[in-house]
Amino acid sequence: MHTTDAAASEPGVFANGIWKQNPVLVQVLGMCPVLAVSNTTINALAMGLATASVLILSSATVSLLRHWIPPQARIVTFIMVIATFVTCVDYLVQSISIELHRALGAFLSLIVVNCLVLGRAEAFASQQSVRRSLADAAGMGCGFLFALLCLGTVRELVGSGQVFGYPLLGDRYQGWAIMLLPPGGFFSLAGWLMFFRWWTLRRHSASGSTFQLSGPTDG
């Protein structure tokens, strides 16, 4: 998939991450935080922003250091760079709101092992210029944030009738507790995947171009 990226300009690289290779809705990467902390919109927003900032900072650093990282020890180096920024973001979230930090729980520290972050460092940032790496990380980060917000909005709206804590559906609304619990994460992820796949297929069949279904890449 990276051969096509090489020709694209920075805006193209950025848009690629948001839409055509959206990390959650197309590549199906980093499912653990996507399913676990998308139970409310505010959690999804915080998790998406935290992951996006770690992604941007680590991609830029890896790209800066790419000529000095020995290929034999590259994964270890990437993980150490990522872990450093995750620790920074973890302290930052703690200083902003301790309740938010508690709600995100272990998943904030687990950004270290998010295969999306490591995957972009290995597949893109370690081979490309800093500018292009920044564009790629920003695109992927925004795509991740967008997908998390999609899930979080649906789960909070159906689960408790609220969005960002604002009672959108009135106070007589009967929330579906299952949507706030783990099964709701799977239901809404499946629903969004189905919707985006259907939409992409429909757009491509309307334009008449030959389109091949790209399955989830291994990551």
Rounded to the nearest 5°, which phi and psi values hold at 49? -65, -40
The one segment of 32-40, 60-68, 132-140, 165-173 that binds other proteins by CB under 8 A: 165-173
Q: Which is nearer to other proteins, 11 or 191 (CB)?
A: 191
**181 binds other proteins, rule: CB under 8 A:** yes
**189 binds other proteins, rule: CB under 8 A:** no
Among 183, 199, 202, 217, binds other proteins (CB under 8 A): 183
**178 binds other proteins, rule: CB under 8 A:** yes
Mark residues 5-34: x for contact with other proteins by CB under 8 A, - for none.
------------------------------
Q: Which is nearer to other proteins, 178 or 201 (CB)?
A: 178
Q: Could you tell me if 39 and 180 are in contact, meaning their C-beta atoms sit under 8 angstroms apart?
A: yes
* Euclidean distance between CA atoms 216 and 13, whole angstroms: 19
Residue 166: helix, strand or coil by DSSP?
Answer: strand
Rg of the chain, C-alpha, whole Å: 18
Shortest spacing between CB 196 and other proteins, in angstroms: 18
C-alpha separations of 97 from 100, 107, 171 in Å: 5, 16, 27
* Euclidean distance between CA atoms 173 and 186, whole angstroms: 23
**192 binds other proteins, rule: CB under 8 A:** no
